[in-house]
A and B are shown apart, each in its own frame.
Chain A
Amino acid sequence: MSELRCDECPALLDDCAAGTLPDDARRALEAHVASCERCARLVHDYLVLPALVRRATDVQMPYEIELRLRRLLAGTRRREP
């Protein structure tokens, strides 16, 4: 992959965050951000943001809700196909 321009970086970020970026594109992105502070910040934020939001919304179903659900399911009939 040839040298990246700044305006080409955003299109690679979704796969970069998901770890599905092809090797040549990943190397091109790494080479670009090594010399471009603005895109380096963009990549950093793109990678940090999901973890930040995930942690701030990491909840588990309260036990009393699970109990209520089990009671409701025990009294529910399912539709025939």
Chain B
Amino acid sequence: MKLNQYSIRSCATILVALAALSANPMTMAMHRGGGGGGGGGGGGTTIPVLNATNVSLSVSSLTRTMSDGQNVNFWVFCQGGMGGMGGGGCTLPSPVLELGVGQTANVSLNMMMAPQEPSPYNGHTIHPHGLDVPTSEDGVPETGASVNGDTYTFSVDSRYVGSHAYHCHVHTVKHLEMGMYGAFIVKDGNRISSGGPTYDYEWNMVLSTVDPAYHTATGDSTVFADYNPRYYLVNGQEGLSTGAPAETFTAATGKKVAIRLIGMQSVNSTFRIRNASGSYQSFTIYNKDGFALSSPQTVTSADVSPGQTMDVMVTLPSSSSSWYPQVTYKNLRNGGSYSNGTVYTRLNF
């Protein structure tokens, strides 16, 4: 269903030119801590953080060997010029994009060497998920978006301070699953939400699941009529136990850590934080889908369904220890659990 008559591309082109004139120098910080603290740690691939005011992304193939020894092919957005095979320097999930309130995003998609499906699901787009951009910047082919490379230009107001996402919107059932997703964070200094408190550290967690059959099927395949996830990820890592966490984050005692949950998975999920003695730690939800709650909610468990985001904050105790933030993925039918369906991370302080 092409609705090309509603495609409004010319305005985008003009805005691109304007944005290019005023673009900030591109920053590429390989940090996880961000904010004031510069925390971070090891345990997984470090995801690049890019300034969305002037960034060019390509699409690349990336083969990952999973915990059971199986190889799975992913498609990811990578910083810079050409994509293609190999995926050198590319990550799963795709880079974090950051945009300040009042800034103009200028995100280019370069399709050179991009792996893709045959027609009619050829090409790729970038959909700024949760950012409520005009149709012309929305990256939806069925409402007129180009699938052959484009520049996405938009800005957002202060309501959007918090976590969002971006992903390819071509044949989304496959392309999202393939790994074409990343966090998109709207920033107002170190505020966790519009008008909310500041954090000392920020930790992005992109939630996703993998059904290997989706990675080889193409077109209108009946493979896409069912979903059988085998791998469960946080920031692209499996994190099967507290001893082998998907990611370890280090922060100072007594500080505030913002945790951004970005739900790009295809099943339900529940986020919780276990402390060193095994009990569930409370945390406070400030944002749902990147919009501030009028009353922040302090809970010990929060559901993040497919397509949702959530910004939560914890204040660390004054004495050193470790906490284990975890995501449990759940069946859409009855909330039933999956084997290896809980992904553990570790927060050292």
A, B assembled together: no
Contacts from B to A (Cβ < 8 Å): none
